[in-house]
Chain A
Amino acid sequence: MKAVVRVYWTFFTGFPVQRWLGVLGVIVLGLGLVAGLAGSLAGSPLEWGTPFGLLGFFIFALFPAAFAAGGTLRALSAPHSHRLLPFFRVRVLCAVVLFVVTIAVLWYALAAWLAQAGRPQGVEVAIIYPVGALTAIVLAMLVFTGQPNWIWIGLPLLSGFMQWMSAGGPAHLREAGVSLPWIVAVASVGAWVAFAIWYLRARYVRPVLWVTTADPARSAWPWGAAALPTELTRAAAVRVLLAGHVQRPLAQQLLIAAGIGALLCLVAPLLQYLPGQQTTTPPFTRFLWPFYAMLIMAFATHPLVRQSRFLWLRVPGARAEVLKLVERMVARLYARVAVAIVTFVLFALWVLGTPLGEAAWGVALMCSAALYSACLGLAAVRNVWLMVVGVSLMFIVQGTVLALLGEPPSALQLTSVVAVQLAAAAFFRALAARRWRDIDWLKFKPARFGRSELSAR
């Protein structure tokens, strides 16, 4: 039991950031209590404390713990030596289930508080949906931390699945009288049972592969690699060192990028044939698309920047010369992403009948978001934190302006998002030029294997 509790506690404290956010969450929850007491003097304790309660819950429990749990689970399960510990996987399994139950109970308590405040919640909102969402987050993060490429398939699948469920789920089950909460409950339990069967029998669990610190070649797409040319030039060798594998010529890369963009757009109409699905793709002026573009470019740039150490003894001159080569490589990456975006949107005009204005805004939003994260990646040469903070901040800006402040967003909102992204891109480009003057490759090294920042307590 003691071992289960220790593993269980690791789910809350395994990564350093969890501990910081945990403390912050507890402080905010404390503020909620104080606000509640102050409110009780004014006659409405719950109204005053509720915002703090919700915020504290998200900071303490949901964002750090739930999103880190998949990585924690993988980091604990991967070492061969752990398999020699008695009943290790059974204990980890018990701990992760206990963890999910804890978060669900916390949410239930919050729902009960909200109910007292005059916002009654049904059992599905108080228990079933949170457990379903937690199950999806933990298991998805387990998959994503093993092979980051699954993010590009998993995220659209998850958002499509959510959209499908919010539209009522499978039509034939609905018609048979099976309610959505029941479907979510059965799907959640089924997912955990399936996971447990696999987990207890699996001979090997892959170690954590952080996309931002891993060898970029390990997360490269199979169609991205080519044979080494017989007449190898220095420029091509530099690209191999940065990318970690032999790249195709730029024209071929752009053609493949255009193909991926077109394919994505052609897949969208197929979603219409899913039972109960009515919509195709969310509008391009939603924050989802620029956020995707930002993530793609961030994930591509940061590992590449780490590889720059390989160039130091091979490129004459000071660090600025290395930066120039890295920027050239980032520009090639950006060209690929931009071509994929433009093709995707052009096909949307033709296949999905997207209005021209929306398509144009889509291109502007996605391209500026990708440029922002490319410049951010160039500046993040001390550690990964600038990258994490920069992406999170822009996520908040985009989410606030494009999702929360009115639907559909106005031209002013769209312009402000593009302007903020371009201004921030210029700022980070200037910061990159400054930081590269004293980049320390003794500390900022390419991580050859998945590096885990997990430290059990």
Chain B
Amino acid sequence: MSASILVVEDYDPDYEAAARGFRRIGVTYPLVRCRDGEEALTFVQTEKPALVFLDLNLPGIDGLEVLRTMKSDPDLKTVPVVVWSSNGREEKIAEAYAIGANSYLNKRMSPADLFEDLKVIVHYWLRTVRLPGLAA
């Protein structure tokens, strides 16, 4: 099975930024986009992604709910989730980690900054650490 990177993001400009970023860095894993929590939860039942980028500000099911659902599912909880949010509040960050987020990333204003962040993330999660379900 091919491992995919799931990006849960409803806001097009943000998704585009991520997609471009990934492309420039040279990520080869296919990107799957879900626009809301329900879509995402349906997708992960059919296919277990290697890595998830999760926006918290989603229509319908709240992003933290999606996180909670994934992290309480014995099968899915091993999937690393990078929470990607414009909400920088301390409480939200703590809450996300408490539910089981693996990383919390602020959405940066400047695309250049975003690109730098993505480079680090990709380098760390996809090129440095070992992920379950991904061939070395």
* Chains A and B come from one and the same complex: no
